Amino acid sequence: MRDLRGAALIPAALLLGCVTARPPTIAHVHIGHALTGVHITPGHKGYVLVAEQRADESLAAAKSAAAAANLAELKAAISASARATDDNDNFGLKQSITLAANHISFAATSADASANVIAFAPVFKSDIAAVVARCDYIDLLAKDVAASSDLKEALASTREIVKAATANVLGDDSTGAGVRGATPADYGVAQLRDELVAMIGRENPPYRTVDEWYLFNLVRLPNGLWVFDKLGRGGNIDGYK
């Protein structure tokens, strides 16, 4: 199967470590948190990148479950698939894609946000709904598997988990037309990253790579204002995530 995410590869100019010539806008730092990097995630990856990683992990574990030799192996693999999908403590797919949408909303409500970002934020928040719903479905099916004492029954639920996890990675094809992610209802993480990259491409003035220092030192004061911590301590004064 061709990996449809290839069309959504981040341009070299968006990678961490390339220093901007001037301080970025607050809106662009929030966008950088969604796509490029943030100080609290595994490997300091942007939330969309973590979401992609978790979606891949969930699908790989579900496929392992489908090939399991016994019920115990199947249950262990499905448990791993469910954790990658929904895990508050380790940035599961559901949490990561929701945080990405939150940061685009933060960007849109920044005083220096462009009309492009303001228009895009509610669209992106709406478009993550299909992925979130599949995450909830996987969680429900995983509970059925955990409670099952019958291998055949557990395999039936596992096959449904594989379908949902595949759709979360590559998008769904609800019409059977052979095209994944044709509409927002069919979106997976691949399509969500595509539309985020496309929005960045429409920015005028252009989006500039956000240096790691700015990504990791944006803080929200108790009065709601966003500022850069000049002491470079990382973290956040008011629990920013």
Per-residue pLDDT of the chain (241 residues), as tens digits, is 334 344 333 443 444 444 444 789 999 999 999 999 998 899 999 999 999 999 999 999 999 999 999 999 999 999 999 999 999 999 999 999 999 999 999 999 999 999 999 999 999 999 999 999 999 999 999 999 999 999 999 999 999 999 999 999 999 999 898 999 999 999 999 999 999 999 999 999 899 888 988 998 888 888 878 888 877 666 554 445 5
Q: Name the residue with tokens 């790691």.
A: 212
Prediction pTM value: 0.87
Whether 72 and 128 have beta carbons less than 8 Å apart is answered as: no
Helix (H) or strand (E) holding 57: helix 47-66
All structural domains of the chain with their residue ranges? 17-228
Q: List, as own/partner pairs, every contact residues 118-124 make where C-beta atoms lie below 8 angstroms and the sequence separation is at least 24, other chains included.
A: 120/199, 123/195, 124/100, 124/192, 124/195, 124/196, 124/199
CA distances to 63, 114, 157, 161 from 108, rounded to whole Å, are 38, 8, 40, 35
Instruction: Report the helix count and the strand count for the chain, using DSSP H and E.
Output: 9, 2
